[in-house]
Amino acid sequence: MAILEVKDLKKSFGKTEVLKGISFSLEEKNVLAIIGSSGSGKTTLLRCINMLETADSGLITVDGSAIFDGDSDEKLTAQQKLENQLKIGLVFQSFNLFPQYTALENVTLAVKAHAKSRPDFKENHKAIYKEIDELGMSLLKKVGLENKANNYPCQLSGGQQQRVSIARAMALNPKILFFDEPTSALDPELTGEILKVIKSLAAEKMTMVIVTHEMAFAREAADRIIFMDNGVIEEEGTPEEVFDHPKSERTKAFIAGYTEV
């Protein structure tokens, strides 16, 4: 069964319909790359799935349970909302690290906050915090930043900040990790280090959805490609299908625009 299913998702801002009925599914341990020109609704789609925006209608299911159902007006409890939120992680284009905390604190902050509701927290909090710090260090190591654990974001390069934010998202052990143009805010020479980290996560079979303009990377790292255009999924398939044998004229034009430059 698919780990993520999106059905006929619609979202308007005022009178402009930004998502005009988006449906797709994603298998566990797969990597999905979403491509498409600016303004086509990619960010809005990610934000709706991550509950930063509320879609107008449609259905989003993660691991068999609905995290958004436009047809149901059943109110979720705070606990259910939290559980849904933690099923998915999001890496922002602009990192959004917390500037007053070190790299390690950024990674562990939310994990420590959630640990407070553990029944054994009171008696074991020292051991629990130590365990969380170790988890944080192992994640920083995974993204190649164990020697920057005590640096503040302002002391790190953009690429390093983005790697911290990937570790921060991973710390909550999400079932699916979403990336919204994770390299767009970076100088070109820094994009490689981020793509390398994402590839290493893919090799570990992390389920991921990546909005990207890095076509070579999408082709190499993704199992599936979705091309979005003007609020709809114009084309979907394997990298070979979408990049080498696109069916739609719009997809052809979009990809041709990238290979020319």
Ligand X SMILES: Nc1ncnc2c1ncn2[C@@H]1O[C@H](COP(=O)(O)OP(=O)(O)O)[C@@H](O)[C@H]1O
Q: Which residues of this chain interact with other proteins, rule CB under 8 A?
A: 50-52, 78, 82, 85-86, 88-90, 92, 94, 96-100, 109-110, 113-114, 152-154, 168-169, 172
39 binds, among ligand X, Mg ion, other proteins, none (CB under 5 to 8 A by kind): ligand X
Check if the beta carbon of residue 59 is closer than 8 Å to that of residue 7: yes
Q: Pick the closer one to other proteins by CB: 98 or 129.
A: 98
Can residue 183 be called a binding residue for ligand X (CB under 6 A)?
A: no
Q: Which does 257 bind (CB under 5 to 8 A by kind): Mg ion, ligand X, other proteins, none?
A: none
- Can residue 121 be called a binding residue for ligand X (CB under 6 A)? no
Does 30 engage in binding with Mg ion (CB under 5 A)? Answer: no
Angle (nearest 5°) at CA 248 between 246 and 254: 75
Question: Which of other proteins, ligand X, Mg ion, none lies near 13, with the C-beta cut-off 5 to 8 A by kind?
Answer: ligand X
Write the secondary structure of the chain as one string of H (helix), E (strand) and C (coil): CCCEEEEEEEEEECCEEEEEEEEEEECCCCEEEEECCCCCCHHHHHHHHCCCCCCCEEEEEECCEEEEECCCCCCCCHHHHHHHHHHEEEECCCCCCCCCCCHHHHHHHHHHHHHCCCCCHHHHHHHHHHHHHHHHHHHHHHCCCHHHCCCCHHHCCHHHHHHHHHHHHHCCCCCEEEEECCCCCCCHHHHHHHHHHHHHHHHCCCCEEEECCCHHHHHHHCCEEEEEECCEEEEEECHHHHHHCCCCHHHHHHHHHHHHC
Residue 18 binding ligand X, by CB under 6 A: yes
191 part of the interface to ligand X, by CB under 6 A: no
Tokens at residue 77, please?
A: 């409890």
Number of residues that bind Mg ion (CB under 5 A): 1
Q: How far is the CB of 204 from other proteins (least distance, A)?
A: 21
In the list 43, 61, 162, 165, the residue contacting ligand X (rule: CB under 6 A) is: 43
Q: How far is the CB of 155 from other proteins (least distance, A)?
A: 8
Which is closer to ligand X, CB of 157 or CB of 248? 248
Least distance between ligand X and beta carbon 46 (Å): 8
212 part of the interface to ligand X, by CB under 6 A: no
Closest by CA position to 109, among listed 165, 50, 182? 165
Measured from the CB atom, the residue of 62 and 211 that comes closer to ligand X is: 211
Q: Which of 40, 61, 162, 183 binds ligand X (CB under 6 A)?
A: 40
Name which position in 30, 40, 43, 212 contacts Mg ion (CB under 5 A).
43
Interacting residues with Mg ion (CB under 5 A): 43
